[in-house]
Amino acid sequence: MKRIAVLTSGGDSSGMNAAVRAVSRAGMSAGLEVYGINYGYKGLVEGDIVQLEPLDLDGRIASGGTFLHSARFPEFAEESVQLKGIEQLKRHGIEALVVIGGDGSYHGALKLTKHGFNSIGIPGTIDNDIPGTDFTIGFDTAVNCATEALDRINDTARSHQRTFIVEVMGRGAGDIALWSGIACGADAIIIPERDYDIQEIADIIVRNKEHGKEHSLIVIAEGVMSADDFKRQLDEHGDFDSRAITLGHIQRGGRPTAKDRVLASLFGDYAVKLLLEGKGGLAIGIHNNELEAHDIIDTLENHKHHTDVALQDLNNRLRF
């Protein structure tokens, strides 16, 4: 193998740059030429492909976003468009592709694999919703961002004896809500993986007040409903002087945490090691602190991400 390429796709996540750096540096150390593809699958199909040099990677480990840029490019679900992408890769003499992205991006890599083009997926999304790994790159940074925001909201909630409903990201998964909710001592964490009872939530707030805790914090995952909609429901069960907040895209940016930088470095280096061993068609992950690589087709077609819903029980035991 002489030449490989790397792209980032889907919503950006902090640590993607560290992963591109790791793939590139590990590849260059092994004597490979490494190409960067700009704008995800869109850039692939358009042939926006450039050779990366060592200096291109300088300082990237500490930066948020993705310097290769990203794109949502639904056209890539069409076979004819996928084949155009493969033509571009072949035209550039590229023998394997590393895709850094979320579950959607993994499906793109799966399609390329099915067409016979060697592709490896590295999990990069704040949502932590990919099967085959306990953690994705960017999740830890997003959780820390949400936690800091929730701490700040708790301060003003306490001062004004208010109830805050804070919506965090995660698409269909409750992972960011669970981790940030526990980290800031939320009174309730509402996730798409489990039903909730609005009366029970109202009762928690009332009980808090009866026992001298005049403010409450409810963390809701976006996959359940918006903070505004939840507030409307809650308002029908009492006057809690509530405020609804959507944290939004601040969770996607910022300098990656050390954990995300190290995870990205491990994943990128491991992807290149596997390619050098002649392997491919794989989804990389970390399970019980060990790096793992699974068949990407089997991973996506037969497995689901399992949110650790027991974290909600933990929060219920520990809350006020």
Ligand X SMILES: O=P(O)(O)OC[C@H]1O[C@](O)(CO)[C@@H](O)[C@@H]1O
Task: Tell me the binding residues for ADP.
Answer: 21-25, 185-187, 213-215
Among 39, 76, 117, 270, binds ligand ATP (CB under 6 A): 76
| CA dist., res. 167 & res. 180, Å (int) | 11
Only segment of 73-81, 209-217, 238-246, 300-308 that touches ligand ATP (CB under 6 A): 73-81
Only segment of 68-76, 158-166, 207-215, 221-229 that touches ligand ATP (CB under 6 A): 68-76
Among 43, 64, 102, 124, binds Mg ion (CB under 5 A): 102
- 88-125 b/e (C-beta count within 10 Å ≥ 16 → b): bbeebebbbbbbbbbbbbbbbbbbbbeeebbbbbbbbb
CB atoms under 10 Å from CB of 213, counted, come to 15
Nearest to 37 by CA among 72, 66, 58, 68: 68
User: Does position 103 bind Mg ion by CB under 5 A?
Assistant: yes
169 binds, among ligand X, ligand ATP, Mg ion, none (CB under 5 to 8 A by kind): ligand X
Among 81, 126, 205, 264, binds ligand X (CB under 6 A): 126
Q: At what angle do helices 175-183 and 139-160 cross, to 10 degrees?
A: 50
User: Does position 10 bind ligand ATP by CB under 6 A?
Assistant: yes
Only segment of 108-116, 121-129, 204-212, 234-242 that touches ligand X (CB under 6 A): 121-129
User: Residue 228 has which token pair?
Assistant: 């505004």
Q: What does the per-residue mask of binding to ligand X show for 158-197, with x meaning CB under 6 A?
A: -----------xxx--------------------------
Q: How far is CA 92 from the centre of its chain?
A: 30
User: Does position 111 bind ligand ATP by CB under 6 A?
Assistant: yes
| CA dist., res. 251 & res. 245, Å (int) | 13
127 in active site = yes
User: Residue 27 has which token pair?
Assistant: 């590849």
User: Residue 145 has which token pair?
Assistant: 């961002």
| Residues 9, 48 contacting (CB under 8 angstroms) | no
Q: 48, 56, 58, 127: which is the annotated catalytic residue?
A: 127
DSSP letters, 54-81, are GGGGTTGGG--S-TT-----GGGGSHHH
192 binds, among ligand ATP, ligand X, Mg ion, none (CB under 5 to 8 A by kind): none
Q: Considering the complex, state which of residue 44 and residue 204 has its C-beta at the smaller distance from ligand ATP.
A: 44
DSSP 124: B
CB atoms under 10 Å from CB of 305, counted, come to 18
Show binding-site residues for Mg(2+).
103
Report, in Å, the least distance between residue 229 CB and ligand ATP.
Answer: 22
C-beta nearest to ligand ATP: residue: 104
Q: Which residues of the shown chain bind ligand X in the complex (CB under 6 A)? A: 11, 72, 102, 125-127, 169-171, 222, 252
- Interface positions with ligand ATP (CB under 6 A): 9-11, 41, 72-74, 76-77, 101-105, 107-108, 111, 125, 127, 171
Catalytic residues: 127
Which residues bind to Mg ion, rule: CB under 5 A? 102-104
